Chain A
């Protein structure tokens, strides 16, 4: 087994993009299609301070939850790796998202137009954190129900938030979504830096 130099410059550089959306919207499918390795799943214990409602005076309420995380990996260059993290789909894990968001370049919010309200929470979250994102309408089985501009209107998206359609099952289609996100970051740089929330993950 080769010995490794302790110089941290030899480590690859990891980039992170989040794949968000409601439960069952196709996050795992999207990651499967784009990842060069079998999508990986692990469970992480995430701890967050309890919200105000449960707080007892002088007692710091903490909640630890085991959350299943899907992620994929795309090798961008010999020393650059892109990790895709699928955010937990259940709304009750919202408060854990800050940790996952730390250091992410941006996010893809997958939308199923048959269950549009499922993505409201993700859109609200990224808007409130000033995290750059785009909305990708996952057209299940070619089912076409609403035009992108109708979805944009329904979600009240700001003009700078792109909205695209995709088939999350197909590598090319899902990769184009990621490309669009990166192009957006390049052509419309954020006016302010995103808030660095939570601890690194």
Chain B
């Protein structure tokens, strides 16, 4: 994950916050061309779009270097999810990012999942 480096380039100022109004990034658009949920997966395809990317698109693409969720990209870029989805769908449109639906709803009675979760949490104690 390249969050640290990405932050420095995301038109962010530690004291002032974002230096560009959020909806300026998406040119006022709030409806992405690709349907995405907060927990949809996004991952870079390795295809580098031709031409120069807008700064926020560039940051978003870097954040997708390993599979991550729309929610994480939004939060790391400090952008509303609606704007992030527009940026990501722009990247999908040029083939730079692939999106996948959210993981299937976990079955709260699935012992395999629950035991894995238990073990993972215990390790953090």
Q: Which residues of A contact B (CB under 8 A)?
A: 1-4, 6, 8, 10-16, 34, 40-45, 66, 69, 71, 73-77, 80, 82-83, 102-103, 105-106, 132, 171-172, 175-176, 178-179, 182-183, 185-186, 189-190, 193-194, 196, 199-201
Query: Is A4 a contact partner of B124 (Cβ separation < 8 A)?
Result: no
Contacts of A16 in B (CB 8 A): 39, 106
Cβ contacts B25-55/A at 8 Å (1 or 0 each):
0000010000001110101111010000000
Interface size, B (range): 35 or more
> CA separation between A132 and B110, bound complex, in Å?
14
Query: Is B120 a contact partner of A83 (Cβ separation < 8 A)?
Result: no
> CA separation between A14 and B116, bound complex, in Å?
12
Contacts of B37 in A (CB 8 A): 199-201
Query: Is B80 a contact partner of A1 (Cβ separation < 8 A)?
Result: no
For residue A34, give the distance in angstroms from its CB to the closest CB of chain B.
8
Q: List 26 A-B contacts (CB under 8 A).
A: A1-B44, A6-B98, A11-B43, A12-B67, A15-B103, A16-B106, A34-B124, A42-B80, A44-B38, A45-B30, A45-B80, A71-B71, A74-B121, A103-B103, A103-B106, A172-B125, A175-B121, A175-B125, A176-B125, A182-B117, A185-B108, A185-B114, A190-B108, A200-B37, A200-B105, A201-B37
B5 within 8 A of A: no
20 more A-B contacts (CB under 8 A) besides A40-B76, A42-B74, A186-B118?
Answer: A4-B44, A12-B41, A12-B103, A14-B39, A15-B117, A40-B72, A43-B82, A45-B80, A45-B82, A73-B72, A77-B116, A80-B116, A103-B39, A105-B108, A105-B113, A106-B108, A179-B121, A185-B109, A186-B114, A201-B37
> CA separation between A44 and B81, bound complex, in Å?
5
For residue A172, give the distance in angstroms from its CB to the closest CB of chain B.
6
Contacts of A4 in B (CB 8 A): 43-46, 67, 98
Query: Is A179 a contact partner of B118 (Cβ separation < 8 A)?
Result: yes
Contacts of A74 in B (CB 8 A): 120-121, 124
Q: Which residues of B contact A (CB under 8 A)?
A: 30, 37-39, 41, 43-46, 48, 65, 67, 69, 71-72, 74-76, 79-82, 84, 98, 100-109, 111, 113-122, 124-125
Please judge, given known A-B contacts A43-B81, A171-B124, whether A186 and B111 are in contact too, CB under 8 Å: yes
Picked from B38, B41, B45, B108, the residue with its CB within 8 Å of the CB of A11 is B41
> CA separation between A85 and B116, bound complex, in Å?
20
For residue B22, give the distance in angstroms from its CB to the closest CB of chain A.
9
Contacts of B108 in A (CB 8 A): 105-106, 132, 185, 190, 193-194
